[in-house]
């Protein structure tokens, strides 16, 4: 019996009494079908997009932990408002983790699958906070020789989202971008892509130290929201770049509306006669994250040619089709140590990821503390 | 010299000191070029879309009138916040009135123009609150024989907007509609179009008497917003109709967000497994009016497949192109006494339209009091 026959897997369950439960289940690793492989997950990041599924809106400041250090069980109450939005998953024990990387241990009978044995691959598809993952060979992205699993753990969510922003800009006829919460790993990738591809980019951050970080990467326009001069500076930057498409990671509050208002002000600088319906150039904000879960407030002082909406990577990839998506993935693999390099503040095991003091750090989305899980750390390989 | 050599024309001016001035200018009627005609305007409606340009956000409760009854001059203060949004038109004397209908008096030398002399036509293009309007023959819609100017005065804005909603629904892959402030003249047209064309429609109104009005026209789903059962009824109606596109005349407040939330709840009734990003069907709200000028508040509890944006008739007509737009106009002319019939509460002259007691009625957009101006009334024809 192979060592990977049984593996630990992080599970998140919402109990109907309004309690979140996190635990490490022992699950059998599915035997690979002919076109599948078994990957030992050596590195998997905790992305903001993972936290929604994992923590289910629970109040982690009121969390408890029981069990042993190797077998912790974390419980936390879910406020009633949050509970409504997770009603569809009650009493389902759900695996977590969008993406990861690791070594292909075994394969099914197909040539495509067998060719991957011994290779380090990046994979996406959920259930990555686990020691082992059986997955289709076609879903594996082979990392360039000499690339460690930790270097390739974030090959999909952030890189493809950043590339998706640029592709969306081109497809929808815009010629420049605005990005909020722009000092994130994703934001740093976007700065590098836009520099490489000659795309004007306006970065909006929330702290002065983030300005220095992005300027150090070569970013030209980096603004700090909330300062007294922010709106004036934003209008100047939008006039200089002609950016009419923004990607917003924050969601709640007034920032999306302010971006549209400033786009309108920038557009009206070059408009001819007075038009009571505002500028004719379409101004768009896509909300792709929810760092602020509060309501979005739109003042609608930006004419009639505007839109705001949700933006989801999977929807984007479906829209462009498998061939175009594969091209993006290949660019990521080729530039994984440069454009798409990720920084992590800490590496933890699965059991360590369930320590309350760690959750308090990585669960607070706006701090910029980025964690990497090594699900096989400390499990005696 | 023809009687129409000089005509009265309503003008709206924003003075830089923050004052709105409305007056009746005496303007020379431009001589028609070869492809133009001179139309005597006999009927022109006051639409919500005219009021923004005409009243410029001024506080009409503080208005004054001077001059004679035939030559009134109305002034009113513009609050600072509103003044910012009309900065682009300061000290410009602007004509008003999107659309109207009347008799073609004279024509330029082209055959197309001369063929219109003596015909009653509907026209669109601004400056309709005037005795006479010189306009291209190609912009005239000849009304069917026996149609009075008053019957054809509203051939464009409301009918083409209502048809535009249906065409937008088809073009963007939706199969049912939601409409707010649905008891308006426009809303009544939409009810009739949707009945004719077999399109499921959810009407949202603000008063019980409006429910009876729309049900009398044959509407199936008519809901009153703000009632304790409104949201539950809306989910039921959305589940029954499958409507995933809404046109919102209100703009401000929470209604647009509620519509998206209820669309999501309806979609999740038939969803399969739990999807943390919500239903995959795209849910859209277009704001085409601003009955509530306050901010729009979005709670974002409707997944990621959603959008909200401005919708403007002229942008829509440009998008579909002249041939498709002409087809819509011909449908309007053919059904002007049935589907596209408008009701008016009062007919006034240009001078009467500047009486403060009349402005107090038609200037209050949400009351449903609809005015028709006859610019040649009482001017001694």
Give the CA-trace dihedral at A348, A349, A350, A355, to 10 degrees.
-60
Q: Do A191 and A215 contact (CB within 8 A), yes or no?
A: no
What pLDDT shows up at residue B369?
Answer: 83
Report d(CA B127, CA B140) in Å as an integer: 15
**Cβ distance of B89 and A306 shorter than 8 Å:** no
Task: Quickly state the pLDDT bin for B381 (edges 50, 70, 90).
Answer: very low
- What distance in Å separates residue A369's CA from the closest CA in chain B? 23
Burial of A161 (0-12, 13-18, 19+ CB in 10 A): buried
What pLDDT shows up at residue A269?
Answer: 83
Report d(CA A78, CA A59) in Å as an integer: 6
* Chain B residues close to A310, C-beta within 8 Å: 303-307
What pLDDT shows up at residue A334?
Answer: 93
Please give the sequence-ordered ranges of beta strands (E in DSSP) within A47-119, or none if there are none.
Answer: 64-68, 71-77, 93-95, 99-107
pLDDT digits (tens, 9 = 90+) for A45-65: 999 889 989 999 999 999 999
Q: Do B179 and B245 contact (CB within 8 A), yes or no?
A: no
**Cβ distance of A315 and B304 shorter than 8 Å:** yes
DSSP state of A207: S
What pLDDT shows up at residue B87?
Answer: 83
- What distance in Å separates residue A3's CA from the closest CA in chain B? 32
What pLDDT shows up at residue B274?
Answer: 72
* Chain A residues close to B308, C-beta within 8 Å: 298, 307-309
Chain centroid to Cα A278, Å, comes to 35
Mutate to test the interface with B, among A282, A294, A304, A305 (most CBs of B within 10 A): A304
Q: In this model, does residue A2 exceed pLDDT 90?
A: no
ipTM for this prediction: 0.89
Q: In this model, does residue A1 exceed pLDDT 60?
A: no
The answer to whether A246 faces chain B, any CB pair under 8 Å, is no
Task: Quickly state the pLDDT bin for B365 (edges 50, 70, 90).
Answer: low
Chain centroid to Cα A260, Å, comes to 24
Q: In this model, does residue A273 exceed pLDDT 80?
A: no
Query: What proportion of chain A, given as a percentage, has pLDDT over 90?
Result: 86
DSSP-assigned beta bridge partners for residue A204? A180, A223
Mean pLDDT of chain B: 93
What pLDDT shows up at residue B293?
Answer: 87
Task: Quickly state the pLDDT bin for B335 (edges 50, 70, 90).
Answer: very high
* Chain A residues close to B88, C-beta within 8 Å: 268, 271, 274-275
Q: In this model, does residue A192 exceed pLDDT 80?
A: yes
Report d(CA B300, CA A291) in Å as an integer: 12
- What distance in Å separates residue A285's CA from the closest CA in chain B? 10
Q: Measured between alpha carbons, how far apart are the two ends of chain B, in Å?
A: 16
**Dihedral-angle region of residue B29 (phi above 0 means left; psi in -120 to 50 means alpha; beta otherwise):** beta
* Chain A residues close to B251, C-beta within 8 Å: 300
Structure tokens at A285: 């904000």
DSSP state of B207: S
Residue B42, number of CB atoms within 10 A of its CB: 23
Between A52, A287, A303, which is nearest B310 by CB? A303
Give the mean model confidence (pLDDT) for residues A262-281: 84
The answer to whether A318 faces chain B, any CB pair under 8 Å, is no
Task: Quickly state the pLDDT bin for B9 (edges 50, 70, 90).
Answer: very high
Task: Quickly state the pLDDT bin for A381 (edges 50, 70, 90).
Answer: very low
Task: Quickly state the pLDDT bin for A318 (edges 50, 70, 90).
Answer: very high
Q: Which residue in B332, B340, B344 sits closest to B373, CA to CA? A: B344
Report d(CA B318, CA A92) in Å as an integer: 50
Report d(CA A248, CA A336) in Å as an integer: 24
What pLDDT shows up at residue A348?
Answer: 97
What pLDDT shows up at residue A369?
Answer: 83
pTM of the model: 0.90
Q: Which residue in B256, B278, B304, B311 sits closest to A287, CA to CA? A: B304
The answer to whether B310 faces chain A, any CB pair under 8 Å, is yes
Q: In this model, does residue A194 exceed pLDDT 70?
A: yes
Report the residue of chain A nearest B297, measured CA to CA: A297
Report d(CA A22, CA A55) in Å as an integer: 8
**Cβ distance of B299 and A304 shorter than 8 Å:** no
> Which segment of A152-161, A229-238, A372-381, B198-207 scores lowest on mean pLDDT?
A372-381
Task: Quickly state the pLDDT bin for B368 (edges 50, 70, 90).
Answer: low
**Cβ distance of A296 and B298 shorter than 8 Å:** yes
What pLDDT shows up at residue B83?
Answer: 85
Task: Quickly state the pLDDT bin for B49 (edges 50, 70, 90).
Answer: confident
C-alpha to C-alpha distances, A357 to A21, A79, B108, nearest whole angstrom: 16, 21, 84
The answer to whether A290 faces chain B, any CB pair under 8 Å, is yes
Task: Quickly state the pLDDT bin for A73 (edges 50, 70, 90).
Answer: very high
Report d(CA B168, CA B190) in Å as an integer: 13
B334-337 long-range Cβ contacts below 8 angstroms, 24+ apart: B334/B144, B336/B143, B336/B144, B336/B147, B336/B151, B336/B152, B336/B155, B337/B147, B337/B151
> Which segment of A33-37, A132-136, B106-110, B278-282 scores lowest on mean pLDDT?
B278-282
Mutate to test the interface with B, among A51, A57, A253, A274 (most CBs of B within 10 A): A274
Structure tokens at B135: 């306009």
Alpha-helical (H) ranges within chain B are 48-55, 80-85, 111-114, 149-152, 157-171, 185-197, 208-216, 230-241, 255-269, 313-334, 350-353, 356-362
**Cβ distance of B276 and A311 shorter than 8 Å:** no
In total, chain A counts a number of residues equal to: 381
The enclosing H or E element of B77 equals: strand B72-77
pLDDT digits (tens, 9 = 90+) for B14-25: 999 999 999 999
Mean pLDDT of chain A: 93
pLDDT digits (tens, 9 = 90+) for B204-234: 999 989 999 999 999 999 999 989 999 999 9
Query: What proportion of chain A, given as a percentage, has pLDDT over 70?
Result: 97
pLDDT digits (tens, 9 = 90+) for B135-154: 999 999 999 999 999 999 99
pLDDT digits (tens, 9 = 90+) for B253-270: 999 999 999 999 999 887
The answer to whether B97 faces chain A, any CB pair under 8 Å, is no
Give the mean model confidence (pLDDT) for residues A75-97: 90
- What distance in Å separates residue A337's CA from the closest CA in chain B? 30
Between A84, A94, A312, which is nearest B304 by CB? A312
Task: Quickly state the pLDDT bin for A87 (edges 50, 70, 90).
Answer: confident
**Which residues have a Cβ under 8 Å from the Cβ of B110 and sit 6 or more positions away?**
B34, B35, B137
């Amino acid at each position: 019996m192979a060592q990977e026959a049984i593996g630990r897997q992080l599970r998140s369950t919402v109990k109907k009494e309004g309690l979140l439960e996190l635990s490490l289940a022992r699950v059998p690793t599915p035997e690979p079908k002919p076109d599948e492989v078994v990957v030992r997950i050596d590195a998997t990041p905790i992305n903001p997009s993972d936290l929604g599924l994992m923590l289910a809106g629970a109040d982690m400041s009121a969390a408890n932990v029981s069990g042993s250090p190797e077998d912790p069980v974390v419980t936390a109450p879910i406020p009633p408002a949050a509970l409504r939005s997770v009603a569809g998953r009650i009493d389902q024990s759900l695996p977590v983790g969008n993406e990861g990387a690791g070594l292909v241990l075994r394969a099914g009978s197909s040539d495509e699958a067998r060719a991957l044995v011994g290779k380090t691959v990046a994979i996406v598809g959920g259930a990555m906070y686990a020691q082992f993952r059986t997955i289709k060979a076609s879903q594996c992205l082979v990392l360039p020789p000499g690339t460690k699993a930790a270097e390739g753990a974030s090959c999909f969510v952030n890189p493809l989202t950043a590339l998706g922003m640029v592709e969306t800009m081109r497809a929808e006829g815009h010629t420049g971008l605005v990005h909020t919460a722009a000092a994130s790993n994703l934001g740093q990738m976007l700065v590098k892509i836009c520099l490489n591809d000659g795309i004007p980019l306006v970065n909006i951050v929330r702290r002065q130290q983030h300005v220095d970080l992005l300027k150090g990467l070569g970013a030209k326009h980096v603004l700090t929201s909330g300062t007294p001069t922010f709106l004036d500076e934003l209008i100047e930057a939008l006039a200089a770049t002609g950016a009419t498409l923004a990607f917003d990671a924050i969601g709640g509050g007034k920032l999306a509306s302010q971006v549209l208002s400033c786009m309108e002000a920038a557009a009206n600088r070059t408009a001819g006669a007075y038009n009571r319906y505002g500028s004719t150039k379409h101004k768009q904000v896509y909300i792709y994250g929810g760092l602020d879960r509060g309501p979005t407030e739109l003042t609608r002082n930006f004419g009639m040619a505007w839109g705001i909406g949700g933006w989801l990577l999977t929807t984007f990839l479906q829209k462009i089709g498998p061939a175009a998506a594969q091209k993006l993935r290949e660019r990521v693999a080729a530039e994984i140590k440069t454009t798409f390099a990720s920084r992590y503040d800490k590496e933890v095991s699965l059991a360590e990821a369930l320590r309350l003091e760690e959750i308090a750090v990585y669960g607070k989305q706006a701090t910029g503390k980025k964690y990497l899980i090594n699900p096989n750390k400390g499990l005696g390989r």
